[in-house]
A and B are shown apart, each in its own frame.
Chain A
Amino acid sequence: MSRRWKAIGAFAIAGVVAAIAVTAAAAHSSSKHSTTFSGTLNIMGFGTNGDDVAKNRFAIAQKAVAPAKVNAPNGGFNEQQFLTDIASKQVPDLVYWDRSYVGTYAAKGALMPLDSCIKSDKIDTSQYRQAALQSVTYNGHIYGIPEFFDVRTLIVDTHVADTSGVTGKMLNTANPTVLKQAALKMYQHSGSQVTRIGFDPKLPEFFPLWAKAFGANILSKDGLHPDLNSPQAIAALTYANSLIQAQGGYNAFLAFRNTWDFFGSDNQVAKNQVGAWPMEEWYYNVLASSSPNVNVTAIPFRSKTGDPINYSTGSAWSIPKGAKNAAAACQWMKTMTNASTWETVANIRKAAYAKAGQYWTGLFTANSKADAAINKPTSGEPKKWASIINTVEAAEKYSFALPASPASAQFNTAWTNAVNRVLQGQQSPTQALNQAQKEAVAAIKQATKK
């Protein structure tokens, strides 16, 4: 090559290198935070042994609070450990737990209200779903930053439905009579043993969903006034229980359900052991990975008015009162739950799935901005799975959650026990819910006395 070209080439390379260096420097300086973090950030309930999404978000958040050290032992949230920490005044800086804990501990005065953190770190709370925020807001203040949003839709085994003469329209929870007929059409038994469940109402866990569908609000918005024995709630429990009793009775029903290979390739949908049932959306992911060729579809759960509804639960991040490193904790929460983090890890997972030939079924984050970007079918995805994502994503708009309450554990125990008593035939729905109402009222009274 002539010397002139060599010189131009060298110049060009130098220029590119310089440009890269400048850009890198600029990026580096722009990522330097106005506040520097220090010390250690102690986290309880979120370790480093989660799935790929958890691990990737952890890495991103860890960079965001650098140079503070992050101490996050494995193991879920342990309530007794937390109580011990509170009593001995050595609280972690950050807890990761189910949203149902927030109200109880906020009422105990054990949590730091997050208003100042939201203001100082400029957390945009409008990006979080209303229902999620409702579970973490107590007495007008936010005590938790929500993460993850369980969406409950009806999972339908289309093969079972088709061969039993059940259409999608019949699987409509807005029309209880028709639904029961559909359930009985798909139900099969051999003697007193159940061999196929037509429709599993998922009691006791989904009782709040059924109550809401029948028009009952089992807990007031401020979390202080339970209403477990309203006529609508009793009607909901009576109906849902009757579905189980009509399909073999509780004992046979549950015993059969316990035999399902829930997470395996021989799961109840693959083996056509169930017609339809309401379930959290993560199960679609299980199906897609363990038995991708099953005949399955999603139908929204509807209330008696005909509108779709979704009973939503999920996790949250909270800062205990007395946390030493609240600044880093705040930054961590913000990073973990903002849209860009979610989108980054979702893309990583989508790429991994594409390589493994697995279908994308969505990631539901409680951040509506992130959800809109993430939860779209990937190109080339079979119609079956694409329609599932779309249905689930659409259902999110209609979500409700149980409000934060000062005695949420006991409130939940009260209605859970009541439903169990009805299922086992020990009490009528009216008796059971009356008792549950008494217990819930007493528990909340005791929790708010101090």
Chain B
Amino acid sequence: MTSVASEGRAGAPTPEIPPVALGPDESRWRRRLPLLKQLPFIVLLAAFSVLFIYPFLWLVSASLKTRGTVFDNKLIPHPFAHDVFHNYAVIWSAAPFLRWFANSMYITLLAAVLVTFASALTAFAFAYFRFPLRNFLFGCVLATMMLPTVVTMIPVYLIWHHVGLSSSQIPLWAPNLFGSAFYIFLQRQFFMGIPRTYFEAARMDGDNYFTMFWRIAVPIARPALIVTFLFEFKAKWNDLMTPLIYLHGYHQYTIPLGLYDLLGVYSPSAGGSGDYEWLMAAFVLATLPLLIIFAFGQRYFVRGITLQGYKG
């Protein structure tokens, strides 16, 4: 269950992906229940899965309804909104949704890419090099992983404030320039699984350390990098607290903050217009990119979670 530390594994230059990249050891679980015995579990799981799927169905259904019927909880809208997808069309002009979408997209992509490579640099250093203070510094990384976010929330805001950037989008992605403890830890496992012989060969070919990192380590650790990218994408796309602190003014908003605001704008009790059906459409549109990413990168998410647990 623990990670495979493979420093200095001599000999055998087999170009395999280190086993730790494969995820849980499926070969250990060989027992298969006969289908009949599985049936009760399948039924139970199916029953529970309704709880997880139905809210999505409700959401999509509500997004296709008219204002008067949006909360009638019927699964099939009756009547459908004008032109069925009316709400989806309106939301782009009723609120600066396109702007928010673009903001979310560029901030999230930037943040994910930056943290992937910054963490890779750091993880590689801890995995490959031997140097004084290595264990101490890695201990600092580990400590950061356990740090409650709330402790640094205010001072970090004040830092940005003193630099004059506390009302901009920069604080949302700039900290990712410095890597993130969780991903550093994850990627270090991968880098440690790369046989040193690969690197020695590259060094002898005249590579300096950075080229070696870039040409050898990074391609092999691609699964870990993709996991990092996808996880950070999801986290940044969904983040509400940081935009709440730093973004002021609709032109800066990301989707979560915009949606939060719309809950007030459309609420009758706050003087809004009650057009929650547009909000439902907005929720669906906000979730769609993540669902698409999940559809394509599902195995990476699963892998990423299981690697998380191997810390023990």
Q: Is A262 an interface residue (CB 8 A)?
A: yes
Determine which of B248, B250, B251, B268 lies in contact with A84 in the assembled complex, contact meaning CB atoms within 8 Å. B248
A87 to B164, CA, bound (A): 9
Bound CA span A75–B249, Å: 7
Which residues of B sit under 8 angstroms from A74, Cβ to Cβ? Answer: 250
Q: Is A263 an interface residue (CB 8 A)?
A: yes
Q: Is the CB of B274 within 8 A of A73?
A: no
Q: Is the CB of B268 within 8 A of A263?
A: yes
* Cβ–Cβ < 8 Å partners of A81 in chain B: 167, 248-249
Chain A CB count within 10 A is highest, among B249, B250, B268, B274, for: B268
User: Does chain A have a CB within 8 A of B310?
Assistant: no
> Which residue on A lies nearest to B167, using beta carbons?
A84
B67 on the A face (CB < 8 A)? yes
Also in contact, A261 and B67, with CB within 8 A (given A84-B161, A84-B167):
yes
Q: Confirm or deny: A29 has a beta carbon within 8 angstroms of a beta carbon on chain B.
A: no
Cβ A78 vs Cβ B249 within 8 A: yes
Decide yes or no whether A88 CB sits under 8 A from chain B.
yes
Q: Counting CB contacts under 8 A, is B306 at the interface?
A: no
Chain A, residues 224-264, CB within 8 Å of chain B (1/0): the string is 00000000000000000000000000000000001111111
Closest to B67 in A: A264
> For A266, what are the chain B residues with a Cβ–Cβ distance below 8 Å?
68
Per-residue CB proximity of B233-271 to A under 8 Å, as 1/0?
000000000000000111100000000000000001100
On whether the beta carbons of A262 and B268 are closer than 8 Å, the reply is yes
A288 to B250, CA, bound (A): 32
Contact of B273 with A by CB under 8 A: yes
Q: How far is the CA of A162 from the CA of B197 in the complex (A)?
A: 93
A263 to B70: give the CA distance in the assembly, Å: 14
Given the contacts A262-B274, A264-B67, A264-B274, A87 and B249 also touching, CB distance less than 8 Å: no
Once the chains are docked, how many angstroms separate the CA of A397 from the CA of B268? 28
Chain A: how many interface residues by the 8 Å CB criterion?
18
Which of B71, B248, B269 lies in contact with A80, CB distance below 8 A?
B248
- What is the minimal beta-carbon distance from B312 to any residue of chain A, in angstroms? 42
Residues in chain A near residue B274, CB distance under 8 A:
261-264
Contact partner of A259 (CB less than 8 A), chosen from B71, B250, B269, is B71
Alpha-carbon gap, A262 to B272, bound state (A): 9
Chain A CB within 8 A of B103 CB = no
Rounded to whole angstroms, the CA-CA distance of A88 and B268 in the bound complex is 36
Task: List chain B residues, Cβ under 8 A from A261.
Answer: 67-68, 274
Q: Quick check: is B166 within 8 A (CB to CB) of the other chain?
A: yes
Task: Give residues 262-299 of A contacting B (CB, 8 Å).
Answer: 262-264, 266
Complex CA gap A235/B67 in Å reads 40
| B62 vs chain A, min Cβ distance (A) | 15
A260 / chain B contacts, CB cutoff of 8 Å? 268
Of all chain B residues, which has the CB nearest A90? B164
Nearest chain B CB to A258's CB is how many angstroms away? 8
CB distance from B95 to the nearest CB of A (A): 11
CB distance from A364 to the nearest CB of B (A): 15
CB distance from A110 to the nearest CB of B (A): 17
In contact, B161 and A73 (Cβ under 8 angstroms): no
Which residues from 87 to 115 on chain B have a C-beta closer than 8 Å to any C-beta of chain A?
none
In the complex, chain A residues whose CB is within 8 Å of the CB of B71: 259
The answer on a CB contact under 8 Å between B68 and A75 is no
Q: How far is the CB of A100 from chain B (nearest CB, A)?
A: 15
Query: In chain B, what residue has the closest Cβ to A79?
Result: B248
Minimum distance in angstroms from A287 CB to a CB of chain B: 14
Question: In angstroms, how far is the closest chain B Cβ from the Cβ of A437?
Answer: 27
- B249 cross-chain contacts in A, Cβ below 8 A: 73, 75, 78, 81
Smallest Cβ-Cβ distance to B264: which chain A residue = A76
Contact with B along A54-93 (1 / 0, CB 8 A): 0000000000000000000111001011001101100000
| Chain B proximity of A2: nearest CB distance (Å) | 63
Please measure, in the bound complex, the distance between the C-alpha atom of A87 and the C-alpha atom of B160, giving whole angstroms.
Answer: 12
Given contacts A80-B248, A84-B248, A87-B161, whether A263 and B273 have CB atoms under 8 Å apart is: yes
Cβ contacts under 8 Å, B166 to chain A: 84
* Alpha-carbon distance A260/B68, docked complex (angstroms): 9
Docked complex Cα distance between A263 and B269 (Å): 11
Q: CA–CA, A263 to B250, complex, Å?
A: 25
Are A88 and B248 in touch, CB under 8 angstroms? Answer: no
Which residues in window 37-85 of B have CB below 8 A to A? 67-68, 71
Compute how far the CA of A266 lies from the CA of B269 in the bound complex, rounded to whole angstroms: 16
**Shortest distance in angstroms between B71's beta carbon and chain A's nearest beta carbon?**
7
CB-CB under 8 A from B248, the residues of chain A are 78, 80-81, 84
The closest CB in chain B to the CB of A254 belongs to: B269
Instruction: Please report the C-alpha to C-alpha distance between residue A56 and residue B12 in the assembled complex, in whole angstroms.
Output: 81
State the CA gap A386–B248 with chains docked (Å). 43
Q: How far apart sit A87 and B248, CA to CA, in the bound complex (Å)? A: 15
Bound-state Cα–Cα, A261 to B251, Å: 31
Note all chain A residues with C-beta closer than 8 A to B67: 261, 264
Q: How distant is the Cα of A258 from the Cα of B276 in the complex, in angstroms?
A: 13
Contact B68 A264 (CB under 8 A): yes
Contact B161 A75 (CB under 8 A): no
Which 4 residue pairs of A and B lie closest in terms of their CB atoms, listed nearest first?
Answer: A81-B248, A262-B268, A84-B167, A263-B274
Given A81-B167, A260-B268, A264-B68; 14 other pairs, CB 8 A cutoff: A73-B249, A80-B248, A81-B249, A84-B161, A84-B166, A84-B167, A84-B248, A85-B167, A259-B71, A261-B67, A261-B274, A262-B269, A263-B273, A264-B274
**19 interchain pairs (CB within 8 A)?**
A73-B249, A73-B251, A74-B250, A78-B248, A80-B248, A84-B166, A84-B248, A85-B167, A88-B161, A258-B269, A260-B268, A261-B68, A261-B274, A262-B268, A262-B274, A263-B268, A263-B273, A264-B68, A264-B274
Listed in ascending order, the chain A residues whose CB lies under 8 Å from chain B are 73-75, 78, 80-81, 84-85, 87-88, 258-264, 266
Give B contacts to A, CB under 8 Å. 67-68, 71, 161, 164, 166-167, 248-251, 268-269, 273-274
